[in-house]
Amino acid sequence: MSYCNIHIELLLIIGVSLLAATENPPHIIYIVADDLGWNDISWHDSSMITPNLQNIADESVILENFYVQSLCSPTRSSLMTGYYPSNIGSQHKVIDPNRPHGLPLGLTTLPEKLKETGYISYAVGKWHLGFCNKDYLPTSRGFDKFFGIYGGCHYYYNHSSSEHGTYKPGLYSGIDLHEESSNGIFKLKGAEYDGVYTSNLYRKKIAEYIAEHDPRKPMFFYVALQQTHSPVMVESEWSNLYPNVPDLVRRNYSGQVTLMDTMVGEVVNKLKEMEMYEDSLIIFHSDNGGDVKTYASNWPLRGDKGTYFEGGIKAIALIHGKGIRKTGYVNKGLFHVSDMFPTLIESVAGGQIADEQKISGSLYTKHNMTRKFNNPETCNPSKCLNFIHCNAHIYLNYVEIPAPEPNGTDIYLFNLDADPYEEVNIAASHPIIVKQLMDKLDKYRKTAWTFFPPADPACNPVNFEGFWSPGWC
């Protein structure tokens, strides 16, 4: 698939290949929010208290057309490999803790590629790319250290979840909180952890990892925040910041947003304390659209998490720091999360991608974001028609679409230039375009595959001291 002939522009110079040859590659701080709504940030809604992200945004490039997948695991698999999820078995929903699968083991991950250029990699937060076997774990996929959860969510105080996460009880329940390093894998429990709000544990560990890192070596830090994923639980000091929000759930959700923002600010402050900030490239975006069931707001976009309307796949995103030529503006070029993989490896770290990984289209997205960075009009979404993310959207046989058309159609076509909020379905009046997109979709379906095995009772946490753990597949 080509995004406007793959000429994806960004008025940036990011990467050692575009910096002076004597400069070292920057530290890469990659922060992913969880289920953050499009309207739940201060530059879209001034009532949201996100001063740290706002300060960063004021000196950043805001990526206004940055697209992701509609759910957690597909987006994270694309980020970590550079592949479209449909071609690596990750296009289905999410990786459940009771199913024996994960990110395919034959794929080289982002931290593995960065390690080739000398990066030390850390991860704190949510993994959600499989754990039934040790080979799926973060430290087996390129990270030197990891602290966080293997699944998609857990209760923030007792750190437990069922095979359905926190959405409903299930056959199993276990604790999901682990730390990994060269010293082994550790199940975390005891007074230091029990009853402590998870994000407070993350805040401490993030500061610890940054402080212990040798700043002479490039660092890749993947900060995979749990905010604002359900359950909507937050300490009162955060929810009390929104006394004028009458609904309790929305007030707690808003508090989660501000806690998330505070954590981002603490990352920045720690980098400054360790004199690493000026040598850091910071990337921030959400993994998918906000979940309206937890009172996230994607207004004025249509749809939410789990749908392929703009509200489900268009993410808040920015890029800030070392190597950026122009800052303080909104870039409307077209990007997908998979573009980050080649951009970071080649243009930031100065690494290389094997020729067999450079296949454009069905296997690999070789879209380096620094291409044609001096031409802001190269891929303006209003000037090109393309599949999925430019002026046309098409949705087929998707059962969770809200507000269906009166005639019950399952085909949706929108002109995003004239109708950015997807209010008018023009499929019936444009049959030729629909046919062209149907043909494209059929072509992509031929290369798509999935591996979604049945649940395996061997996952039962009672077999592993009450923890969701590897060792059963």
Q: Which two tokens stand for residue 27?
A: 């530290």
Q: Rg of the chain's alpha carbons, rounded to an integer?
A: 21
Cβ-contact 393, 430 below 8 angstroms: no
One-letter amino acid at 416 equals: L
Which of 4, 27, 72, 390 does the annotation list as catalytic?
72
User: Residue with structure tokens 């809604």?
Assistant: 45
Q: Which of 339, 243, 257, 335 is nearest to 290 (CA)?
A: 257
Distances (CA, A) of 2 to 5, 382, 446: 5, 16, 17
Q: Residue 61: in which H helix or E strand, if any?
A: strand 61-67
Cα separation, 343 vs 456, whole angstroms:
38
Q: Which residue has the tokens 């062209």?
A: 436
What are the contacts of 401-410 at 24+ separation with CB within 8 A?
A: 401/303, 401/307, 401/309, 402/302, 402/303, 402/304, 402/307, 402/309, 403/302
Which residues neighbour 111 within 8 Å (Cβ) at sequence distance 6 or greater?
80, 119, 121, 123, 141, 142, 143, 220, 222
**Are 121 and 38 contacting, i.e. CB atoms less than 8 angstroms apart?**
no
Concerning whether 128 is annotated as a catalytic residue, the answer is yes
Distance in angstroms (rounded) separating the CA atoms of residues 16 and 221: 18
Residue 413, Cβ density class (10 Å: 0-12 exposed, 13-18 middle, ≥19 buried): buried
Beta bridge partners of 184: 181
* Three-state DSSP state, 272: helix
Rounded-to-10 torsion of CA 121, 126, 132, 134: 20
Q: Which residues contact 195 (CB under 8 A, 6 or more apart)?
A: 157, 158
What is d(CA 449, CA 240) in angstroms, rounded to the nearest whole number? 47
Structure tokens at 214: 């040798």
Q: Which of 4, 27, 101, 128 is catalytic?
A: 128
Catalytic residue ranges: 72, 128
